[in-house]
Amino acid sequence: MKRLDTTQNFKPFLDFVLSIREESSAGISLLRELAVLASDKGLLDGKLKRKIDRVYYRLCRIQEELGSLDFKKAKPGVSAEDYVFSRIDFSRYREITKTVFEHHFLEGLSDFPGSFYIKNFTLNKEKILSLINECYEKTNEMYQLKRDNPLILSVMRALEISLETSPLFTIEEMQRELDHLQGLVGANKKMPGAENLFSLLVLSLENVSITHKDETITKLFISDKGELAGIFHPGGKPWTRILIPENLNLSA
């Protein structure tokens, strides 16, 4: 299905979203960013773009670590898992630049479902945020670790390299924004159904290209199963990641 075919039926709605004054669109930032993408009117540096950037960043870190492994140097009797762990450079979390810390570690907390934090740390997302704030202090353009312990190091590493992320966006997020939009325009304006709109917007992202800060390009596509996926190239190596799984795209 071509992008034109998926967008032509709801183009008036996309144009309507884009027509709303920017100062009034804080509560519909997701819809606005998707409307820009689907309408080929440029790319906002918004929530979705930053989330895709973080997927790429994590893949770069994984590729970097994989490239540094040489199992021939592992000592006799040491398991592959223990060797990999021994190669982890936890010192990188002692001082982190402001941009990386706030973008990747603070905003990046929202990339993972609540179950991720409970499963890995037996703490909810709010307590993980409190832990980070307690353990780091900002000094000029850096954040420095002031309280070093295994838990905070494990948290920071998981946020940096884990691929157990939530879908790029969900029907529930879209419904909240549609409800907000309804409040902006009044009850007499009919909004489209969230489930149908969700599927159309997912399909509209086919062939969208995302350019990262290092000029590497990620290409989005729709799989045969109706999943939204991206082909990333960390370190020049192709990685395909599912950004929205099949079961979320209910009408595809």
Amino acid at 182: Q
Q: Clarify whether residues 131 and 82 are in a common domain.
A: yes
- What pLDDT is recorded for position 38? 74
User: What's this model's pTM, rounded to 2 decimal places?
Assistant: 0.86
Indicate if 80 and 150 belong to the same structural domain: yes
Buried b (16+ CB within 10 A) or exposed e, 39-57: eeeeeeeebbbebbbbbbb
In a domain, 62, yes or no: no
Query: Are 77 and 150 in the same domain?
Result: yes
C-alpha 3/C-alpha 140 separation (Å) is: 46
3-state helix/strand/coil string of 61-115: HHHHHHHHCCHHHCCCCCCHHHHHHHCCCHHHHCEEEHHHHHHHHHHHHHHCCHH
| Domain assignment present for 58 | no
Same domain, 127 and 183: no
pLDDT on residue 199: 87
* Contact between 35 and 197 (Cβ < 8 Å): no
Q: Does residue 18 fall inside a structural domain?
A: yes
The pLDDT value given to residue 21:
79
pLDDT in tens, 29-57: 899 888 887 776 555 678 899 999 999 99
pLDDT at residue 148, rounded to an integer: 83
My answer on whether 154 and 183 are in the same domain is no
Residues 151 and 183 in one domain: no
CB 218, CB 168: distance < 8 Å: no
- DSSP string across 163-183: --PPPSS-HHHHHHHHHHHHH
Q: Which residues span the domain enclosing 13? A: 3-48+171-248
Angle between helices 150-161 and 125-135 (to 10 degrees): 110
Number of domains in the chain: 2
179 plus 229 within the same structural domain? yes
Q: How far apart are CA 21 and CA 66, in angstroms?
A: 47
Residues of the chain with pLDDT under 70: 1-9, 23, 40-44, 70-72, 78, 80, 82-83, 247-252
Residues 147, 178 within the same domain: no
Domain stops at, among 161, 181, 212: 161
The reply to whether 64 falls in a domain is no
In a domain, 154, yes or no: yes
Query: Distance between CA atoms of 230 and 217, rounded to whole angstroms?
Result: 10
Same-domain pairing of 79 and 157: yes
Query: CB neighbours of 247 closer than 8 A, spacing ≥ 6?
Result: none
Residues 21 and 77 in one domain: no
Q: Is residue 218 a part of any domain in this protein?
A: yes
Q: Do 180 and 141 share a structural domain? A: no
Q: Look at residue 97 in the predicted model and tell me its pLDDT.
A: 97
Amino acid at 4: L
Q: Note whether residue 147 is domain-resident.
A: yes
- From the list 88, 6, 71, 70, the residue with the least C-alpha distance to 39 is 6
Of 114, 143, 161, which marks where a domain is finished? 161
> 84, 100, 82, 80: which is closest to 92 by C-alpha?
100
Q: Tell which of 140, 161, 182 closes a domain.
A: 161
The reported pLDDT for the residue numbered 2 is: 38
Same domain, 182 and 244: yes
Residue 216 lies in a domain: yes
User: 3-state DSSP call for residue 127?
Assistant: helix
**Long-range pairs for 78-84: beta carbons < 8 A, 24 or more residues apart:** none
Q: Are 193 and 243 in contact (CB under 8 A)?
A: no
